[in-house]
């Protein structure tokens, strides 16, 4: 079966089996390596270990499963025995298996524990791995770590160290002097830590982050209600202004249902949409085309010193696209394909475009409707359903990233029948910018 672990389809079949059997599969996998020298894909073992732990129903059961996976019969090897006897060969042989798979199993166990709000370090196994953490830390600080191993190493350290210690490592990495990839990696690991302080830590880092990383930091804050509260605190304390939040972030906040939060959001940021789509569209079309001379909207735009007919500029339009659309759409090789590719709309009239941009909920195709998922451990995820399997569900977020949740971890799932595309984009786009944007979309 070791070949299956390198084959995505067979691998998926094994992973969709009854979770009750997973422990046994893990044990056999490790044993088969010990006895027959089989070669397993370490990532496969990580997923196996993760699912085996995620399937446990209580904290006690999780601890039991960990003990099993790390038990003498299965995997005792923490350190080769210094005693030279006949046992040594076996010990060393097992040691090589441990170095190959052990850390992937630890990572897998942490993956499986995280949704339960548990940390590997809170278990009785922490002591066994103290020496491992110390070694890894020394290696980390020596600067000898190859760049492509940074993510793996940080995840492992995050599983082995308490959150506070881990934050000490990550903090200096979240500064603009560091390479972008390093900052992004540090942020991902920070967002995955199991600590109530994560929200504060991310908010503290926000002012020094450049736009790309800041957007990811905000996404990490929006994923949990306790962290949203910290973000709102920071806005209230004027450490961050609502203008620093992207359109997509504001739209996500606007959909927040927890009453206490929704009230604060409406006060601090607005709810991201205005009631009358038809009037907004009229205003834009009038300002742009000047077709309705004499209407109040037209008069207003004249008084405001705007020319009756605005000409769009494709170069400026490209900037508007990058600011407001690129997170979700692909066009001219730029952006994420969360929504439809925008090459298809070239033939649309300006009116069709303005209508679709300002009133995305007029028609919502089922493939693009928004889903909101609350998890048992308090996260709120939103996005399109990207894929489903027997045991889990993957959501594609508005920023192009994905979240996978186990079905058993879902507290509630709802589709409010609205598009993932946010309403209220007019708050970020003036009629002039709309004209520029349309010139860009039609010119490329």
Q: Does 427 bind ligand HEC (CB under 6 A)?
A: no
C-beta of 23: minimal distance to ligand HEC in Å? 40
Quick note: the x/- pattern for ligand HEC over 333-372, rule CB under 6 A, is -----xxx---xx-------x--xx--x---xx--x----
Instruction: Please give the Cα distance from 320 to 325 (Å, whole number).
Output: 8
Lookup: tokens for 172: 């200096």
DSSP character at residue 310: P
402 φ, ψ (degrees, to nearest 5): -130, 155
Residue of 329, 330, 379, 396 interacting with ligand HEC (CB under 6 A): 329
C-beta of 286: minimal distance to ligand HEC in Å? 19
Residue ranges of E strands in 254-368: none
C-beta of 333: minimal distance to ligand HEC in Å? 16
Estimate the share of the chain in helix, then strand, then coil, as percent rounded to the nearest 5.
60, 10, 30
According to DSSP, the residues that pair with 20 across neighbouring strands are: none
Which residue stretch of 55-63, 178-186, 295-303, 417-425 sits at the interface with ligand HEC (rule: CB under 6 A)? Answer: 417-425
C-beta of 338: minimal distance to ligand HEC in Å? 6
For ligand HEC, the binding residues in 381-400 under the rule CB under 6 A are 398
Q: Which is nearer to ligand HEC, 105 or 353 (CB)?
A: 353
The number of residues that bind ligand HEC (CB under 6 A) is 26
Lookup: tokens for 358: 């300002």
Lookup: tokens for 307: 């020319």
Instruction: Please give the Cα distance from 80 to 228 (Å, whole number).
Output: 47
Q: Can you say how many angstroms the Cα of residue 267 is from the centroid of all Cα atoms in its chain?
A: 27
Residue of 328, 373, 427, 435 interacting with ligand HEC (CB under 6 A): 328
C-beta of 332: minimal distance to ligand HEC in Å? 13
Instruction: Please give the Cα distance from 241 to 215 (Å, whole number).
Output: 14
Place of tokens 């030279």: 84
Lookup: tokens for 96: 């090589």
C-beta of 365: minimal distance to ligand HEC in Å? 4
Quick note: the x/- pattern for ligand HEC over 243-282, rule CB under 6 A, is ----xx----------------------------------
Q: Does 421 bind ligand HEC (CB under 6 A)?
A: yes
Query: Rg of the chain over CA atoms, in angstroms?
Result: 26
Q: Which is nearer to ligand HEC, 138 or 257 (CB)?
A: 257
Residue ranges of E strands in 314-438: 371-375, 380-388, 392-396, 402-406, 410-414
- State the residues that interact with ligand HEC by CB under 6 A: 247-248, 324-325, 327-329, 338-340, 344-345, 353, 356-357, 360, 364-365, 368, 398, 419-422, 425, 437
């Amino acid at each position: 079966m070791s070949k299956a672990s390198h084959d995505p389809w067979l691998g998926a079949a094994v992973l969709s089996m009854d979770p009750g059997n997973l422990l046994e599969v893990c044990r056999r996998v490790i044993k088969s390596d010990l006895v027959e020298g089989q070669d397993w894909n370490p990532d496969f073992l990580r997923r196996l270990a993760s699912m085996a732990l995620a399937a446990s129903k209580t904290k006690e059961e999780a601890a039991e499963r960990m003990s099993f996976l790390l038990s003498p019969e299965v995997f005792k090897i923490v350190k080769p025995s210094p005693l030279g006897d006949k046992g040594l060969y076996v010990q060393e042989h097992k040691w090589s298996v441990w170095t190959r798979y052990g850390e992937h199993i630890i990572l897998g166990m942490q993956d499986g524990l995280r949704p339960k709000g548990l940390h590997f370090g809170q278990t009785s196994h922490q002591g066994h791995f103290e020496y491992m953490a110390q070694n890894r830390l020394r290696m980390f600080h020596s600067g000898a770590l190859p760049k492509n191993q940074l993510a793996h190493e940080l995840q492992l350290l995050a599983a082995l160290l308490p959150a506070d210690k881990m934050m000490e490592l990550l903090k200096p990495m979240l500064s603009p002097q560091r390479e972008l990839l390093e900052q992004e990696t540090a942020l991902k690991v920070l967002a995955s830590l199991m600590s109530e302080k994560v929200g504060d830590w991310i908010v503290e880092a926000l002012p020094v982050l450049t736009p790309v990383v800041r957007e990811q930091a905000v996404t990490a804050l929006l994923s949990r209600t306790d962290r949203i509260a910290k973000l709102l605190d920071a806005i209230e304390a004027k450490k961050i202004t609502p203008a620093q939040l992207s359109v997509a972030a504001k739209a996500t906040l606007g959909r927040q249902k927890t009453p206490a939060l929704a009230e604060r959001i409406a006060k601090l940021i607005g709810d991201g949409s205005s009631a009358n789509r038809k009037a907004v569209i009229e205003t834009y079309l009038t300002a742009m085309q000047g077709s309705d001379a004499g209407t109040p909207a037209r008069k207003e735009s004249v008084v405001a010193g705007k020319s009756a007919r605005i000409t769009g500029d494709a170069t400026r339009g490209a900037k508007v696209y990058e600011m407001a659309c690129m997170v979700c759409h692909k066009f001219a090789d730029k952006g994420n394909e969360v929504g439809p590719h925008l090459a298809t709309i070239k033939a649309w009239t300006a009116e069709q475009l303005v209508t679709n941009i300002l009133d995305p909920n007029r028609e919502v195709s089922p493939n693009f409707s928004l889903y909101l998922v609350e998890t048992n451990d308090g996260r709120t995820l939103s996005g399109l359903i990207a894929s489903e399997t027997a045991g889990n569900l993957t959501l594609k977020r508005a920023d192009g990233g994905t979240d996978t949740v186990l079905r058993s971890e879902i507290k509630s799932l709802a589709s409010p029948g609205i598009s993932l595309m946010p309403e209220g984009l007019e708050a970020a786009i003036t009629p002039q910018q709309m004209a520029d944007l349309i010139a860009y979309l039609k010119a490329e």
